[in-house]
Amino acid sequence: MSDADPRDLPFPSFAPHPDRDSAPWWSALDAGAFRLQRCGDCGTLRWPPRALCNRCRSFESGWEDVARSGRVASWIRTHQVFAPEAREKVPYVVVQVALDAQADLLLIGGWLTEREPAVGEAVVLEIVDGGHGHALPCWRPRASD
């Protein structure tokens, strides 16, 4: 995990509430790992974490490290203060990233670079401290600016 000060995060962060399916995902991130479930039968990567594969309905799965890269599927810039904690952070960008590991998996994440993202651009993962006890998957342009 980067040792950035969570107060410097460019977006307002709220603690996730992991459930029994997602706890391994969050604890892997907290340990600096980017890990997804792979179906033990058909090999499909699974997102979000679930007990069952939605392709072959298998309950078998294992967690494995996957590529820390993807492409921007979309992005937004939030100007409105939707919660008091966001007051000091607006405007901020949130990206939706299609993972290189399996392009039909879309993750919402933070954007760590000042310039705006572009739909389709290549991005790399950076796991940051959310300041609330959980690490968060965030993204930067693949080629440094």
Partner 1 sequence: MPDVEGAALRDRVAIAGIGATELSKDSGVTTLTLACRAILAACADAGLPPEELDGIATFRVGDSVLPAILAQTLGLRDLHYYVDQFGGGSVSHSIIGQAALAVHAGLAKHVVCYRALNARSEFRMGGIGRPLVDAVETQYQAPFGYFTPPQQFAMAARAHMARYGTTEAQLGQVAVTQRTHAVENPRARMRAPITLDDYYASRPVVLPFRLLDCCLETDGAVAVLVTSAERARDLAKTPVLVSGAAWGSGHTLYSNEQPDTTRTAAADMAPRLWSMAGLGPHDVDVAQLYDCFTYSVIVQLEDYGFCTKGEGGPFVESGATALGGAIPVNTHGGFLSEGYVHGMNHVYEAVSQLRHEAGARQVAGAEVALSTAQPGYVSGNCSALVLRRDA
Tell me how far apart the alpha carbons of residues 142 and 118 are, in angstroms, rounded to a whole number: 12
Q: Are 25 and 35 in contact (CB under 8 A)?
A: yes
If one asks whether residue 46 binds partner 1 (CB under 8 A), the answer comes out as: yes
Environment class of residue 23 by beta-carbon count within 10 Å: exposed (0-12), middle (13-18) or buried (19+)? exposed
Could you tell me which residues come within 8 angstroms of residue 96 by beta carbon, excluding any fewer than 6 positions away?
72, 73, 74, 75, 106, 107, 108, 109
If one asks whether residue 13 binds partner 1 (CB under 8 A), the answer comes out as: yes
- Smallest distance from partner 1 to CB 84, Å: 8
Q: How many amino acids of this chain bind partner 1 (CB under 8 A)? A: 48
- Enter the DSSP assignment of 132: S
Residues from 79 through 98 that contact partner 1 (CB under 8 A) = 79-80, 82-84, 86, 89, 91-92, 94, 96, 98
The residue from 18, 24, 58, 69 that contacts partner 1 (CB under 8 A) is 18
Tell me how far apart the alpha carbons of residues 130 and 78 are, in angstroms, rounded to a whole number: 18
- Smallest distance from partner 1 to CB 110, Å: 5
Residue 84 φ then ψ, to 5°: -55, -35
Residues from 105 through 124 that contact partner 1 (CB under 8 A) = 105-110, 119-120
Residues that bind partner 1 (CB under 8 A): 11-19, 22, 44, 46-48, 54-55, 73-80, 82-84, 86, 89, 91-92, 94, 96, 98, 103-110, 119-120, 130, 134, 136, 138
